[in-house]
Structure 1
Amino acid sequence: MKKIAVLTSGGDAPGMNACVRSVVRSALYLDLEVYGVRYGYDGMIKGDIHKMKSYSVSNIIQRGGTILKSARSKDFMTKEGRKKAFEQLKYYGIEGLVTIGGDGTFTGANIFYQEHGIPVIGIPGTIDNDLYGSDFTIGFDTAVNTALDAIDKIRDTANSHDRVFFIEVMGRHSGYIAIQCGIGGGAELIMVPETSTTIEDVINKLKKDRDSQKTSSIVVVAEGDEQGNAHEIAEKVKVHLPEMDMRVSTLGHIQRGGEPTARDRILSSRLGLAAVEGLLNGQKNVMAGIVDNKIVYTNLKVAISKSKPIQDELLRLTEILSM
């Protein structure tokens, strides 16, 4: 193998740039030519592919977002589109592909490998931390700290006005962000898709807090909770507790931006090298991850199909500390 390419796809995550940097410089160190694909799979179809040098990734390790840009590609969802992408890789002589993204990115990479046989290694770049085969995904730690900073500030207002705040964080199918920043922010209640929390449970908890002389409460809601989003939950609760002053704050895309934390920069750097070395060692159609602080390779289909449950210990910790 002499030439590889790297792309970022799907939602951006803090640390993607650090990962691109690692892939590029690891490849050059190992005497490979490396190409950057702009705008993900859409750019691969259109031939938006450029040779990269060491200086191409200078001064980006601290930057959020992705210098390679990201886009979702409807054309890549078709067999014809994937064939065009393959022809572009052949034109440039590219023999291996590193894809940085989440489950949608890996789904496309898995199909692409099955159809055209180009060795692909995925790197988990998603703030949701919902991919099996890695304890943490790129961007998760930064997103948690961003949300936590907002929760800390909101609690000041909640305490000053004796209010209940419902704070919505990202997590359509996963409650990892909600659990971590809820514990770190001292939330009175955390609502996640992995557990069932009824509106009655919320009402009883808030009543209990007031009876125990708590004058304010924070409820962290993952956007994918089965009871609805934070606004919907607050409206349902308000009907039964009209005397309580309630507010809703949706943190939204602020969680996807910002300078990556040290943990995300180091994780990104390790996984970038692991992906390049994996390609050279014959790995294909796998995700590079870290489990128990060791590099592991997991089949892409397994990484996107196998569930990654939240640890029971964290759920128990939430219940105990929210008294």
Structure 2
Amino acid sequence: MKAIGVLTSGGDAPGMNAAIRSVVRSSIYHNIKVYGIYYGYQGLIDGNIEELTIGSVGDIIQKGGTMLYSSRSEEFKTSEGQQKAIEQLRKHDIDGLVVIGGDGSFKGASKLTEQGYPCIGVPGTIDNDIPGTDYTIGFDTALNTVIQAVDKIRDTATSHERIYAIEVMGRDAGDLALWAGLAGGAESILIPERDTNVDEVLKKIKRGHDRGKRHSIIIVAEGVGSAVDYAEKIQDELDLSTRVTVLGHTQRGGSPTGNDRVLASRLGAFAVELLLDSQAGRMVGIEKGQLVHHDIIETLQKEHNIDEDLYRLSNQLSI
């Protein structure tokens, strides 16, 4: 292997730059050329590719977002688009590709793998919804962003004796809501992996109100619906002042935490090592603190599960 390409795809996540930096510098350390592919798979199709040097990734480890930019490509979903992408890789003599992103990005990498092109997937998404790894790049940073917001909102909720429903990202996964709810002391956490029992939420609020508690924080994962709907239900049923905060894309931005920088650095370098070892069609991850890799196609066929112990603990502590 003489040249490696790297791209970021799908939603951005804090720590992607640290992963890019790791791929670039690990490749150069092994005397391998490395090419940055801008704007994800669409940029690959369009040939938006340039060689990167050590200096190209200087001073980016602390920055959020991705220096390679990101986009979604409908064209790449077609066999014609995939062939154009492979032609561009061959045109630039790129022997292997590192794809940093979520499950959609991995599906693209699996398509190239099926056609015999060596790809390694690096999980980068704030949703933490990729099977085969305990944590994804960006999750820890987003979690801390949500916790900071919850802490500030609780100050206002306490001052005005209100119920606050806070909607967080995560798509169809509840990890961000569960972890943030537990760390932020939320009274109720609604996640898509569990049936939403609004009546139980109402009972919990009423129990607290009866013992003198005049404020509550309800964390709502976007995968269960709009926090506005739940807030209206609470206000109608209990006649308590209720407000809604949708944190939105603030959760994707910001300087990555130390954990995300270290994770991204480890996974990026590991991806290069696998390509050098003639591995293809793999995804890298971390399990119980150890680097692991799995078949990328088999991984996509598995379901992501929440941490059951954390879910039980959150219910115990929010009585």
Distance 2:92 2:307 in 1: 45
1:303 to 296, 299, 304: 299
Q: 1:67: which partner in 2?
A: 67
- Matched ranges for 1:148-227 at <5 A: 148-225=147-224
1:211 Cα offset (Å): 1.1
Distance 1:172 1:93 in 2: 37
2:269 to 249, 255, 273: 273
1:236 to 220, 233, 240: 233
Q: 2:53: which partner in 1?
A: 53
Cα distance per residue 1:107-143 (max 9 Å; x no partner)? 111012112x110000000000010111100000000
Moved segments of 4+, more than 4 Å:
none
Distance 1:158 1:197 in 2: 23
Distance 1:40 1:303 in 2: 21
One-letter amino acid of the counterpart of residue 174, structure 1? A
2:112 and 2:118 in contact (8 A); partners too: no
One-letter amino acid of the counterpart of residue 234, structure 2? V
1:304 Cα offset (Å): 2.2
1:303 Cα offset (Å): 2.3
Aligned-residue identity in percent: 53
2:234 and 2:242 in contact (8 A); partners too: no
Cα distance per residue 1:26-71 (max 9 Å; x no partner)? 0000111000000000000000000000000000000000000000
1:298 Cα offset (Å): 1.0
Distance 1:308 1:65 in 2: 24
Distance 2:308 2:110 in 1: 31
Gaps in structure 2 of 5+ consecutive residues: none
Distance 1:236 1:162 in 2: 18
Cα distance per residue 1:214-238 (max 9 Å; x no partner)? 111000000001xx21011111222
1:2 and 1:95 in contact (8 A); partners too: yes
Deviates more, 1:83-92 or 1:233-242: 233-242
Distance 2:289 2:295 in 1: 19
1:14 and 1:256 in contact (8 A); partners too: yes
Distance 1:296 1:76 in 2: 28
Structure 1 counterpart SS, 2:234? helix
Aligned residues: 319
Q: 2:28: which partner in 1?
A: 28
1:305 Cα offset (Å): 2.4
1:132 and 1:302 in contact (8 A); partners too: no
Cα distance per residue 1:58-91 (max 9 Å; x no partner)? 0000000000000000110111111111000000
Distance 1:33 1:311 in 2: 40
Structure 2 counterpart SS, 1:129? coil
2:13 and 2:65 in contact (8 A); partners too: yes
- Matched ranges for 1:91-102 at <5 A: 91-102=91-102
- Matched ranges for 1:131-142 at <5 A: 131-142=130-141
Distance 1:168 1:203 in 2: 17
Structure 1 counterpart SS, 2:223? coil
Gaps in structure 1 of 5+ consecutive residues: none
RMSD across aligned positions (CA): 0.8
Distance 2:196 2:81 in 1: 43
Q: 2:42: which partner in 1?
A: 42
Q: 2:13: which partner in 1?
A: 13
1:121 and 1:287 in contact (8 A); partners too: yes
1:320 Cα offset (Å): 1.1
1:311 Cα offset (Å): 1.6
Q: 1:114: which partner in 2?
A: 114
One-letter amino acid of the counterpart of residue 51, structure 1? E
Structure 1 counterpart SS, 2:66? coil
1:155 Cα offset (Å): 0.1
Distance 2:281 2:86 in 1: 15
1:315 to 285, 301, 311: 311
Distance 2:296 2:72 in 1: 19
Q: Does 1:264 align with 2:260?
A: yes
1:302 Cα offset (Å): 2.5
